[in-house]
Amino acid sequence: MISMIKKISLAGGLILAVSFSAQAATAVSLDELLKQVKSGRVTDARANELRLKQFRSNRSQQVSKLNAEKAEQKRQEENSVRMEAEFEVNDARIIELERAFQDRLGGLKELFGVLQQASGDARGQFESSLTQVQFPDRTDFLLSFAKKMGQSNKLASIEEIERLWFELQREMTETSKVATFTANVVNASGEENQQQVTRIGAFNVVSEGKYLEFIPETGRLVELLRQPASRYTGRIDDLVSGTGGQFAIGLDPTRGQLLSLLVQSPSLMERVAQGKVVGYVIITLGFIGLIIAIWRLLVLSAVSTKVNRQIKNLNEPNVNNPLGRVLKTADDSSGIDIETVELKLGESILRETPKFNSMLPLLKIISVVAPLLGLLGTVTGMIVTFQAITLYGAGDPKLMAGGISTALVTTVLGLVVAIPMVFLHTIVSGRARRLTQILQEEAAGMLAERAESDNKAA
C-alpha cells in the first residue's frame, strides 16, 4: 500500500513538474508564476485524492477475484489427482485386455500374418500380370485386406478369406485360357480407343492383328510402335476368329521381354543404313554390276543362239552373227594361199573377241573393289567407336557392341556384293570364252578343209 502511494505521489510530482514548466513558459511575471504554481498544487491534490478513493473502492473486488482463482486452482488440482488415478487404472486394464486378446488369438495371429503376406505377394504378382487388364478391381481388395490384417483391432471375415482364395485360384485358372474382352488400348499415335483384345494366357495380348504391351505402372495396354515380322503377326487373326482347336502363334514366355528385344532388333533397311556413305556406295556398285551382268548374259545368249543357228547352215554365212562374219571372211579369201587365209581368219576372230568380253573387266573390278570398300567402312567405323570409348569410357558394353556392329555392316555389304559378282563374272566370261572357242574351232575346221583340198589339187 505504501509503495502504491509512493508511486502515485511520484506520478503526481511528474505531472506537477510538467504543468509547472508549462505555466512557467506562459508566465510574464513572478507574481503570476506564483499564483499558477499554487493553483496547480491544489488541482493535483484533488486528482490524487480521487485516485486513492477509486483504488480503495476496487480493492474488495480484487480480493474476491483472487479468492475465486485460488478455489479454481484447488479444484483443478483435485481433478488432476483423480484423472491420474483413473489413468493408472485404465492402463492396467488395457494391459490386461491386451494380454487376454493375445491369449485368445493363439494360432490365429500366425494365420493373419500369413494372410497379410499372401495378399501382399498376390497384389505384387497381379499388378504385373496380363490378367490385371481383365480384372482391375482385385488389387483394391487385396490392399484393404492387407491393411486390415496389419491392424490388431480388426479381424478378417470368412468371406474376405474366401475372396483371397478365389482370387489366387482365378489367377491360376485364367493363365491357361485364351480370353477375348473389351479394353482401352493406346495406339501408336497416342490415341486411346476401346476395342476387342485377346489375351493368350499370361504371355501376350493381341488386338486387330497386332501385339500389345501391358504397362503395369499405368495399367494400360499400348500398341507396340514396331511389330514383329509378318510370320508372327500373320497368324493372329486365325487365333482370334477360331472357336476351338490348336493354332500356331508366336508366344513370349517371358511376358514381353523377348518380344521387346525382337522388335528392337534392326530391320534389313536399318542395317543397310548403318553402313552410311560407304554402304550406299557398295550397294550402288552391286546394282551396277548386276545390271551389267544381266545385260551381257542377254547379249551373249542372243549371239549364242545366232551362232548355233549358223552352225547348222555353214554353207550360207550370215553377217548378223560373229560366225557368219568369220565364214564370210573365209569365203572372200578363195584362191589365196592358206597362210594368208589363216591370218585373215585370225584377224576376224580377234575382231569379234572384244565384243564378247565387253564390260567383263568392270565386273571383275566391282568384285574386287566391293570387299575393299567394306574393309574401309569397317576401319572408319572402328575409329569412330574407339573415339567414343575415349570420350565416354568402356563401362557400357552396349556402346562398344553397337559401334562394332555398325562398323562390320560395311564388310558384310562388301562381301554380299563381291560374292555374286564373282559368280556372275565367271558365268559371263565362260559364255564369252565359249563363243570364242566356237569361232576358233570353225576357223580351224575351214583351214583344215582348205589345206586338204589344196593337197588333193596338187
Cα dihedral sign for 445, 449, 452, 454? negative
Provide the 3-class DSSP secondary structure of residue 213: strand
| Alpha-carbon span 25 to 36, nearest angstrom | 11
Burial class (CB in 10 A: 0-12, 13-18, 19+), 169: exposed
**pLDDT exceeds cutoff 80 at 9:** no
- The pLDDT of residue 351: 87
Question: Could you tell me which of 145, 123, 146, 116 has the C-alpha nearest to residue 216?
Answer: 123
| Alpha-carbon span 196 to 235, nearest angstrom | 17
Question: Could you tell me which of 184, 439, 117, 116 has the C-alpha nearest to residue 447?
Answer: 439
Give the start-end residues of each E strand in 44-191: 178-186
pLDDT band with cut points at 50, 70 and 90 for residue 396:
low
Taking residues 18-29, what's their average pLDDT?
47
**pLDDT exceeds cutoff 80 at 123:** yes
Higher pLDDT, 60 or 358: 358
> Which cell is 426 given?
565367271
| Alpha-carbon span 53 to 301, nearest angstrom | 146
pLDDT band with cut points at 50, 70 and 90 for residue 452:
confident
| Alpha-carbon span 210 to 208, nearest angstrom | 6
Q: Counting every residue, how long is the chain?
A: 458
Q: Which of 59-68, 245-254, 359-368 has the highest mean pLDDT?
A: 359-368
pLDDT band with cut points at 50, 70 and 90 for residue 105:
low
Give long-range contacts, CB 8 A cutoff, 24+ apart: 342-350: 342/447, 345/443, 345/446, 345/447, 346/443, 348/443, 349/436, 349/439, 349/440, 349/443
Higher pLDDT, 105 or 64: 64
**pLDDT exceeds cutoff 90 at 157:** no
Per-residue pLDDT reduced to its tens digit, 300-352: 999 888 888 888 887 788 888 888 888 888 777 776 777 887 888 888 888 88
pTM, entire model:
0.55
**pLDDT exceeds cutoff 50 at 2:** no
Give long-range contacts, CB 8 A cutoff, 24+ apart: 272-275: 272/409, 272/413, 274/405, 274/406, 274/409, 275/377, 275/406, 275/409, 275/410, 275/413
**pLDDT exceeds cutoff 50 at 430:** yes
Per-residue pLDDT reduced to its tens digit, 210-229: 888 888 888 888 888 777 77
- The pLDDT of residue 4: 43
> Which cell is 71 given?
478455489
| Alpha-carbon span 454 to 134, nearest angstrom | 102
Three-state SS across 297-322?
HHHHHHHHHHHHHHHCCCCCCCCCCH
- The pLDDT of residue 102: 67
**pLDDT exceeds cutoff 70 at 12:** no
| Alpha-carbon span 253 to 249, nearest angstrom | 12
% of the chain surpassing 90 pLDDT: 14
